[in-house]
Chains A and B, each alone.
Chain A
Amino acid sequence: MSPTSTLRRGWHDEAIWLLYLAGLLPAAWQFYLGATGNLGADPVKTFELFLGFWAVRFLVLTLAISPLREIFGLNLIRYRRALGLLCFYYVLFHFTVYLVLDQEMALHAVIADVMKRPFIMLGMAGFALLVPLAVTSNSLSIRRLGKNWLRLHRLIYLVALCGGLHFYLATKVLSPQQYIYLTLLSLLLVYRIARPTLKRRKKSGIRKQRQHVPSAAVN
């Protein structure tokens, strides 16, 4: 039993809205600090990095939902859409600050950066791949796309790969925080690769159990 299922059905929507609100609060607060001249000597860069960091945090949370359910039986699936969208919003803000405040809309410089530098290229690819996921993050799309919706949303693993590499390449010397988030991202991706094997083992394990205790097989 997940703890959330004890909430009355009507409260789930409120919890999700609260999550959006809490999730956007860091960006709003940092924006306020920047706009009022309280973000240090290099406010644009500070804001840009801050947004990127929070995008990674929400990416990790989004990817953690399935393993939490499958390994620990903790079902938070109804919050996954909000977490994924928060990740997308932070990437969008991150890109907007890079384009508007950092590069001051110098499109030729931005395009040259994207074409030439793997670091920027990977970030941009991650952003581009997130767009179709964000656009189809609604109940209508889920109904319309059916099985293809699941296929499409596997793109999140590619997003994680591009975003993770972009995050890794951002600095030459990794900070402890970067080590932590890169480790989490790697573990979450490795879990996806290992999942089919884990499932097969689990199934065969159950079958063996049943063979040993034939009476348990009777429903």
Chain B
Amino acid sequence: SAPISAAKTDYTVAEKLTPRNDVTTYNNFYEFGLDKSDPSRNSASFKPLPWTIKVDGMVARPTTFGFDDIMKMFPPQERVYRMRCVEAWSMVIPWDGFPLAALLDKVEPLGSAKYVAFETVVRPDEMPGQKGLFQSLAWPYIEGLRLDEARHLLTILAVGIYGETLPNQNGAPIRLVVPWKYGFKGIKSIVRISLTEKQPSNTWNTTAPNEYGFYANVNPNVPHPRWSQATERRIGSSGFFSSNRIPTEIFNGYGDEVASLYNGMDLKANF
């Protein structure tokens, strides 16, 4: 991984960072296997460069961006965000990235565009989870946001962590980070972004609609069918005998910034 010079910002939380080693060895990235340690062990042969992202759909200027162009056009900023997984664990991660809104501005979304759909790369030869008898999910992994969520300044495309380019297991070379939503919304290794009029489907929602919704906003009051979401285990700060279970905050603690996006919406029905 190469160093990234990222500008400091006010987007930071005053909480202890999760050690880099934990951020890079405890991952959900089913393209590389189901175990948390699989992505770091099985992603060595993945080649994140060269890379292009196709941005199309309801936009005035459909564009295919090369990764180098992206790095030049959108200088990275450091964002220290809480990351809350739907499995009730969490981390604090220093991301390097830029607002997704900046990229969307370049392609000029049409007035009729209401949603943004995302797609992960499919490379069975480099991603062992995408071949063989036991395919865990339907590929490609897909995700979606409402346009106003996508344009929110907290929503970034990350190209690095801890001041270095993204390790393969964390979604190299570019991934989505939406800090008030459960981690599975943060789609990795993105190759395509499409603006749409209709709500796009997302992988976990189609896999288990009663367990994972489209919105997936962090919410301690809406339990997962198999476990409570009221608390979370903070990874890294915990040892074996101090698992450091902390209360989960609504919108993962970003309510002041994002609650207004959901005014008048039933968060239990739209989980």
A-contacting residues, B13-38, CB 8 Å: 18, 21-22, 25-26, 30, 34-37
Say whether, besides A40-B37, A42-B26, A179-B134, A169 and B226 are in contact (CB < 8 Å): yes
In the assembled complex, which residues on chain A have CB atoms less than 8 Å from the CB atom of B226?
117, 119-120, 169
Say whether, besides A45-B89, A175-B34, A176-B134, A101 and B208 are in contact (CB < 8 Å): no
In the assembled complex, which residues on chain A have CB atoms less than 8 Å from the CB atom of B233?
42, 44-45, 102
What 1/0 flags go to A171-197 for Cβ under 8 Å of B?
111111001000000000000000000
Contact of A172 among B18, B89, B208, B245 (CB under 8 A): B208
In the complex, what's the smallest C-beta–C-beta distance from A32 to chain B, in angstroms?
A: 10
Give the number of chain A interface residues (Cβ < 8 Å): 31
**Stretch binding the partner chain, chosen from B45-53, B105-113, B117-125, B235-243:** B235-243
In the assembled complex, which residues on chain B have CB atoms less than 8 Å from the CB atom of A41?
18, 21-22, 25-26, 36, 235-236
A54 within 8 A of B: no
B270 within 8 A of A: no
In the complex, what's the smallest C-beta–C-beta distance from B120 to chain A, in angstroms?
A: 16
Chain A: CB-nearest residue to B236: A41
**Do B211 and A101 touch (CB < 8 A)?**
no
A67 within 8 A of B: no
B63 within 8 A of A: no
**Stretch binding the partner chain, chosen from A14-22, A108-116, A138-146:** A108-116
Once bound together, how far apart are the Cα atoms of A39 and B230, in whole Å?
25
A and B contact pairs by CB, cutoff 8 A, 10 listed: A40-B37, A41-B21, A44-B233, A45-B233, A101-B240, A101-B241, A104-B243, A109-B228, A109-B231, A176-B133
